[in-house]
């Protein structure tokens, strides 16, 4: 990346979101993925002469929800346009989309400004089949019109993104926000979330925009990130060699990490946009906006903010939980199940146990589906806070809980993992004395006030007790025993 540091990447994203409606955007055909090809079609979505489109009210409701969640302004009156092009995936030879008056304008998400959000219809699915089964070098293509006319929302950001990593972060937040809204499956593998990236570079410190290229159809966040990184490097190499960046549409091949040109970039006027004569203007009434607004749940960014301000979590921990809704749900269930008042672990301590749990169940598992109940995790955290079990021993208990479920108190009793304290008799004091005797050099240093020397002494006791002693209690005892010297 060294050659790119003198350049600043400027990245904007265009994200297509398939809406999870029952029927298509302009006809009554059912949306049904995985059914045999061309079984959900009608004269309207096949573009037969005389068939007329009717707007899907649910799709508009979902689009308004997205606009409101992004802080966009909802246009009281917007219109549909025809975007004309010929391709076998578009039987009408145009796509109904929105052009100069979109449904939603402006807004922001995670510090990235939103340019616009508009409604349109998806094209059919083309599959290229070659003798070898390869996509390239194919000798025939087949079309499945089941997807044709699926409601889409296109979200266009301003060019506010400055790195491939930031693009990845933005998409992650957008996906979890859309999922929370309940408007889409947001599954990149199945194509219900697709992202294109506009990439240009400029000399660091410059405010002018360079020529941009468009990276098309990245079907995973990881590929998008790698594709953008490769394109930044490619443009930097061109500029350094004194060659121009050509405005074009590119395809990133993740297997070879190579970028190939699909076509020189078309201009908006090439599509001969004109107002759709078969549809009246779309009027978003105050009642429609109020209904969409009422359907919006607490969104991840707001939830992270609440975890921070009301529960005192660190910003990073709050985002880690809130940006994965199932972790936040589990955490809140554990909070609700926690012993009240002094007996509970407190929200910050309890939150510390979620990553411990994720480490044991794997990053893609919803903790609610595991054997560890939220109440059990809350009880374990409370035992650590009350020092009836040491932190090390509690980690062991958590591993047992993941494997077999049950109650942490019973597991602690069964495995003999309860914390040792001086109340158990002279056990812990005797172990501390043994540690001091075993390392008189460290003991002398601690006695002289050098507290850095205490670590090996505490470590000695921990080893002897297999982690069952409470570190704080051991430290206190060491100081107490040395105070008289």
- Which residues of this chain interact with Zn ion, rule CB under 5 A? 27, 29, 42, 44-45
Which residues are paired to 143 by β-bridges? 126
Rounded least distance, CB 38 to Zn ion, Å: 11
Residue 95 phi/psi, 5-degree rounding, is: -110, 135
Name residues whose C-beta falls within 8 Å of residue 323's C-beta, 6 or more positions apart in sequence: 172, 173, 176, 300, 304
Tokens 């597991």 map to which residue? 411
- Report, in Å, the least distance between residue 117 CB and Zn ion: 24
Minimum CB separation of residue 123 from Zn ion in Å reads 14
State the helix-helix crossing angle for 315-322 and 300-311, rounded to 10 degrees. 140
Q: What residues form DSSP beta bridges with 248?
A: 264
Phi, psi dihedral angles at 256 (to 5 degrees): -105, 0
Q: Which two tokens stand for residue 69?
A: 């969640």
Which residues lie closer than 8 Å to 160 by C-beta, 6 or more apart?
A: 12, 111, 112, 113
Question: On the CB side of 410, how many CA atoms lie within 13 Å of its CA?
Answer: 7
β-pairing verdict for 248-253 and 213-218: parallel
Smallest distance from the beta carbon of 40 to Zn ion, in angstroms?
7
Q: How far is the CB of 235 from Zn ion (least distance, A)?
A: 42
118, containing H or E segment: strand 112-121
Nearer to Zn ion, 43 or 182 (CB): 43
Phi, psi dihedral angles at 152 (to 5 degrees): -125, 150
């Amino acid at each position: 990346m060294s050659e790119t540091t003198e350049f600043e990447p400027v990245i904007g994203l265009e994200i297509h979101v398939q809406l999870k409606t029952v029927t298509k955007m302009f006809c009554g055909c059912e949306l049904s993925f995985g059914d045999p090809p061309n079984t959900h079609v009608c004269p309207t979505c096949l573009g037969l002469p005389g068939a007329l489109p009717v707007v899907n009210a649910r799709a508009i409701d979902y689009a308004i929800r997205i606009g409101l969640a992004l802080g966009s302004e909802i246009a009281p009156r917007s219109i549909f346009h025809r975007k004309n092009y010929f391709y076998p995936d578009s039987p009408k030879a145009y796509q109904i989309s929105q052009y100069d008056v979109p449904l939603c304008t402006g807004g922001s998400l995670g510090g990235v400004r939103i340019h616009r959000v508009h409604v349109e219809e998806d094209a059919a699915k083309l599959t290229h089949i070659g003798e070898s089964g390869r996509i390239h070098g194919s000798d025939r293509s087949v079309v499945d019109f089941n997807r044709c006319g699926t409601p889409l929302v296109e979200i266009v950001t301003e060019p506010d993104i400055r790195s491939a990593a930031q693009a990845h972060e933005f998409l992650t937040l957008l996906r979890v926000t859309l999922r929370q809204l309940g408007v889409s499956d947001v599954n990149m593998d199945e194509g219900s979330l697709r992202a294109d990236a506009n990439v240009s570079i400029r000399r660091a410190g410059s405010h002018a925009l360079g020529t941009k290229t468009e990276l098309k159809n990245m079907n995973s966040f990881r590929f998008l990130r790698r594709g953008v990184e490769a394109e930044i490097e490619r443009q930097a190499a061109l500029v350094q060699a004194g060659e121009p960046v050509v405005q074009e549409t590119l395809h990133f091949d993740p297997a070879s990490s190579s970028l190939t040109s699909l076509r020189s970039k078309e201009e908006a006027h090439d599509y001969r946009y004109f107002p759709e004569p078969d549809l009246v203007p779309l009027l978003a009434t105050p009642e429609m906006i109020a209904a969409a607004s009422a359907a919006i749940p607490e969104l991840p960014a707001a939830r992270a903010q609440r975890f921070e301000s009301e529960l005192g979590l660190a910003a990073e921990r709050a985002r880690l939980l809130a940006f994965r809704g199932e972790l936040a749900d589990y955490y809140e269930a554990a909070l609700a199940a926690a012993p009240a008042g002094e007996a509970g672990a407190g929200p910050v301590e309890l939150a510390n146990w979620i990553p411990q749990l994720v480490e044991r169940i794997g990053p893609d598992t919803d903790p609610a589906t595991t054997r560890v109940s939220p109440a059990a995790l809350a009880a374990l955290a409370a035992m650590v806070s009350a020092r009836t079990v040491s932190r090390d021993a509690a980690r062991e208990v958590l591993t047992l809980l993941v494997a077999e479920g049950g109650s942490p108190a019973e597991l602690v009793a069964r495995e003999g993992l309860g914390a040792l304290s001086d109340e158990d008799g002279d056990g812990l004091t005797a172990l501390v004395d043994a540690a001091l005797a075993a390392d008189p050099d460290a003991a002398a240093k601690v006695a002289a006030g050098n507290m850095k020397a205490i670590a090996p002494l505490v470590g000695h006791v921990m080893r002897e007790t297999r982690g069952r002693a409470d570190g704080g209690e051991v430290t206190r005892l060491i100081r107490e025993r040395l105070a008289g010297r």
